[in-house]
A and B are shown apart, each in its own frame.
Chain A
Amino acid sequence: MLYRENGQFKTSYAADQQIFPIAQDRWAILGLLVVAFIGVPLLVDEYLFRAILIPFLILSLAALGVNILVGFCGQITLGAGAFMAVGAYAAYNFHIRIAGLPLLFSLLMGGVTAAVVGIFFGIPSLRVRGLYLAVATLAAQFFTDWVFLRVPWFTDNASSGSVSVSNLQIMGWQIDTPVNKYLFCLAFLTVFALLAKNMTRCAVGRQWMAIRDMDVAAEVIGIRPLFAKLSAFAVSSFFVGTAGALWGFIHLASWEPAAFSVDRSFQLLFMVIIGGLGTIMGSFFGAAFIVILPIALNQFLPAFGGLFGIRISTAGVSHAELIVFGGLIIFFLIKEPHGIARLWSTGKEKLRLWPFPH
């Protein structure tokens, strides 16, 4: 009833091709943005910002990048953590070695460096595919782990191998309070999500999807696998690298290579699988699921036990958290193999018919 496009006539191609052709969607997204940019900073407390919202935004950005590569182009990667590390350390080196370089530029250069490294590690994708490619990208993970632990130049000869940044600002705007950090990440994510959405709708995105669906057929109709695959690697790594730079600069402020270990790569891959492969929306759902659920469980379980007068030990809570979390992943994958994003679109379909389902 509320969600129906009856009567919304499109009179131009532009109107037909816009990202959200249904007016309700446009308003909903606009409303969401207003809430995110204005409402949330007014309402939310510091803990929620620092522990949940900022990691969620940054990992959403990384998941977007992974989704471009895995979901849209069909190239399975286990090197996302590596590209995050490249982004973070490259941005760090630009930041400290070139005095006066604007922060925004350093962060984006982190992304660009990650893109270059991504293209390099994407080369095997021209020969191998599927699980074999996943293993090849795993090499990127171990390589960057090694480089950032062993080559002191990258960490500015820090004796402990841990690097840190502070006094971040853009044109006098200090990024030090949680609200400012949140807004900064949110602005990044908004621009990048728009970029990703449009990229997947235009020629290059269609090439990626053609390669994903059947690369031989795509080649026959004139799509160059070299360009399509490597561009997917480049764009994906750019996103992931920028996210890595934000993770280091904004979220952690001080980090070591362990922050971008192979666990992070798996985490990002799970995000896009659970969220929904080949959807922009899915990246957000997946990130929310993986970032928020464990923390929520961790806080909820002791309180839940307290209701029945049971005191659960700290170790018990963490174990239970892993069990419940793992169980939910399996449940979602069985019930909805296309990810949470599919649930979302099914929901929208039902809403169209509501209140007269058939």
Chain B
Amino acid sequence: MKLGKLALTVSATAVVLSSLLTAPPALAQVKEQFFPVLVYRTGAYAANGSQWANGYVDYLKLVNARGGINGVKISFEECETAYATDRGVECYERLKGKNGGATVFQPLSTGVTFALTEKAPADKIPLITAGYGRSESQNGAVFTWNFPLLGTYWVGAEVAIQHIAKKEGGVAKLKGKKIALVYHDSPYGKEPIPVLQELGKTYGFEVQLLPVAHPGVEQKATWLQIRQQKPDYVLLWGWGVMNSTALREAQATGYPRDKMMGIWWAGAEPDVKDVAEGAKGYSALTLQHGAEPNSKVVKDMLDLVYAKGQGTGPKNEVGQVLYMRGLLSAMLGVEGVRKAQERYGKGKVMSGEQVRWGLENLNLDQKTLDGMGFAGVMRPVQTSCLDHMGSSWVRVHTWNGSKWEFSSDWYQADEKVLRPMVMLASGKYAEEKKLKPRTPDECKL
């Protein structure tokens, strides 16, 4: 029983120590803007999740290296969610009150976003979901605290069809075509379905839905169906290992890769590099940016952060697609704080509520973006009370066997199609939750 006693003592001291040790840092720093970082560096989606996380954290470091947000330094803490909703919620609860309160949450998981959407309004912390999350949360009158900046899955689906129509030579040519959607069977993968179905009705193409169960390594049956039914195009709405598996299966089935198009979460280096030549011709949407190793912000990053040995991830991944995504996401959060400071006092620490105002009145024009080193990486973003998305610019890039290359011009989502759907869905949400959408007057506050 001696060993048993030892174990008990050790675990008891562990519990006591942990409560003692975790408490003090909360009091230590006050004059810092705290960014909680929800990441997944383990689990089935680690390969993609860690690149995003590295970009996110590195940008925060870069801001500090450049002197903070008008002098206010950033502090941050990571919390591992492993892409699981309950762990994500736990992380949110853990970090939301730390170091003077969380500035903004970016969960990088549609499932966690759904759960936090219910909690954020009570805690008054904004939620940025750049390129994911609930599509209808674009309507800021209802979703006061959600910011699906830069694009939603509905934008993605709409642009994907635009691109296909362009390739075919006009929307009229879409009639009678078969477009298959191979999607991750979760809220993430299901988001584009309503838009595809709506457009299918309008243009007369047939949508085939082919779900793939988490984590997506089992796709034989899906690709057998594709081989039998021979859809004209395959849209891939996958994440993590599901993407490379899909490309391998496509190779095995002989489905032409140039007829396959992924969402921006299925268009990064980890998805294709193991398939390399096999993925040649595969294209994916981009959330404005692609791989940007030559952009100025990446050069700054290497000079100011990596040269000093403070980089979070491997140096050769700096500037890759998902790294840039994380970097942009962090930038949007930081710019929200900067904007809020313009109104509530420069050089002060902003509360979640103030940052929400900043994000809602974000106006990054091309000059500002170029000045920050984002020339060629992204286009202007301007948000408003009714539009929490800010912009819907999308490009397409194609894998040439060794790197991603842009293969299309800029697209913009068709507001005429999406706006009514956003209003309808957000209206339904407001009704369910008995929320009163904000009026234009309330928006000005």
A binds B: yes
A interface, CB within 8 angstroms of B: 46-47, 50-51, 55, 96, 149-150, 159-162, 164, 166-167, 176, 251-256, 258-259, 261, 295-300, 303-304, 306-307, 313-315, 317-319, 328, 331, 335-336, 343
Q: How far is the CB of B339 from chain A (nearest CB, A)?
A: 29
Check A51–B94 contact: CB distance below 8 A: yes
Tell me the B85-116 residues at the A interface (CB within 8 Å). 85-86, 89-90, 93-94, 97, 110-111, 114-115
A160-B4 Cα distance, complex, nearest whole Å: 49
13 further A-B contacts with Cβ under 8 Å, apart from A166-B434, A176-B122, A314-B39, are: A51-B89, A51-B93, A55-B90, A252-B86, A253-B115, A256-B111, A258-B214, A259-B85, A300-B15, A300-B18, A300-B22, A304-B14, A315-B50
Interface string of B185-213 (1 = CB under 8 A from A): 11100110110000000000000000100
Check A300–B433 contact: CB distance below 8 A: no
Q: Given that A159-B191, A315-B41 are contacting pairs, would A164 and B80 also be in contact in the complex, using a CB cutoff of 8 Å?
A: no
Instruction: Find chain B residues with CB under 8 A from A299 CB.
Output: 18, 22, 94
Q: Given that A46-B97, A159-B425, A314-B79 are contacting pairs, would A303 and B21 also be in contact in the complex, using a CB cutoff of 8 Å?
A: yes
B82 at the interface (CB under 8 A from A): yes
Check B114–A160 contact: CB distance below 8 A: yes
Interface string of B49-88 (1 = CB under 8 A from A): 0100100000000000000000000000011101011100
Main secondary structure on chain B at its contact with chain A?
A: helix
Contact among A164, A176, A343 for B114, CB-based, below 8 A: A164
Instruction: Find chain A residues with CB under 8 A from B117 CB.
Output: 164, 254
B118 at the interface (CB under 8 A from A): yes
Q: How far is the CB of B34 from chain A (nearest CB, A)?
A: 15
Instruction: Find chain B residues with CB under 8 A from A254 CB.
Output: 114-115, 117-118
B28 at the interface (CB under 8 A from A): no
Contact among A55, A253, A261, A335 for B118, CB-based, below 8 A: A253
B3 at the interface (CB under 8 A from A): yes
Q: Given that A167-B434, A253-B115, A299-B18 are contacting pairs, would A161 and B97 also be in contact in the complex, using a CB cutoff of 8 Å?
A: no
B438 at the interface (CB under 8 A from A): no
Instruction: Find chain A residues with CB under 8 A from B403 CB.
Output: none
A296-B13 Cα distance, complex, nearest whole Å: 12
Contact among A253, A296, A318, A336 for B18, CB-based, below 8 A: A296
In this complex, what residue of A is CB-closest to B57? A314
Q: List 29 interface pairs A-B (beta carbons < 8 Å), by A numbering.
A: A46-B93, A51-B89, A51-B93, A55-B86, A96-B432, A160-B191, A161-B190, A164-B433, A166-B433, A167-B434, A251-B86, A252-B85, A254-B114, A254-B117, A255-B85, A255-B114, A256-B85, A256-B186, A296-B14, A296-B15, A297-B14, A298-B80, A299-B22, A300-B14, A300-B18, A300-B21, A303-B22, A314-B79, A328-B11
Q: Given that A162-B114, A253-B115, A258-B85 are contacting pairs, would A300 and B42 also be in contact in the complex, using a CB cutoff of 8 Å?
A: no
Instruction: Find chain B residues with CB under 8 A from A314 CB.
Output: 39, 41, 53, 78-80
Q: How far is the CB of B106 from chain A (nearest CB, A)?
A: 15
Check B193–A159 contact: CB distance below 8 A: yes
Q: How far is the CB of B81 from chain A (nearest CB, A)?
A: 9
In this complex, what residue of B is CB-closest to A316? B41
In this complex, what residue of A is CB-closest to B20? A303
Contact among A50, A161, A296, A298 for B187, CB-based, below 8 A: A161
